[in-house]
Chains A and B, each alone.
Chain A
Amino acid sequence: MKPAAMPSLEPDLRETDLVAAASRGDQDAFEQIYRRHVDRIHALCLRLCGDPDQAEQLVQAAFVQAWRHLPGFRGQSGLGTWLHRLAVNLVLDWQRARARRARRELTMDPLAELPSLAALGAGLDSRDGDRLDLERAVAALPDGARVIFVLHEVEGYSVREVSRLLRVAEGTVKTQLFRARRRLREVLR
Chain B
Amino acid sequence: MTTGDPLRDALAALRRGVPPRRDLWPDIRAQLAARQPRHRAAAPAQFAQTFAEKAPGTARRKLPTRRALWATASLAAAAAAVVLVLGTQRTPAGGDTDTLVRDSLADSYAAVRADIQVVLDNQCEGLAASACNELQAGLQELDRSIAELRQALVQAEDGSSASQWLATRLRRAVCQTRGLAGQAIRIL
Contacts and interface: CB of A to CB of B under 8 A. Distances in A.
Interface of B: 5-7, 9-11, 13-25, 27-29, 31-32, 35-40, 87-88, 90, 137, 140-141, 144, 147, 151
Contact of B19 (A38, A64, A67, A68): A38
Nearest to B33: A27
Contacts of A71: 37-40
Given A38-B24, A59-B20, 19 more contacts: A1-B21, A23-B37, A24-B40, A31-B25, A38-B19, A38-B25, A55-B20, A67-B35, A68-B37, A68-B38, A70-B37, A93-B137, A105-B88, A126-B15, A131-B13, A134-B10, A135-B14, A185-B6, A188-B7
A42 B19 contact: yes
Nearest to B29: A27
Contacts, number: 130
B38 A72 contact: yes
Contact of A60 (B24, B40, B137): B24
Contacts of B38: 68-69, 71-72
B142 to A, nearest CB: 11
A25 B37 contact: yes
Interface string A42-58: 11001000001001110
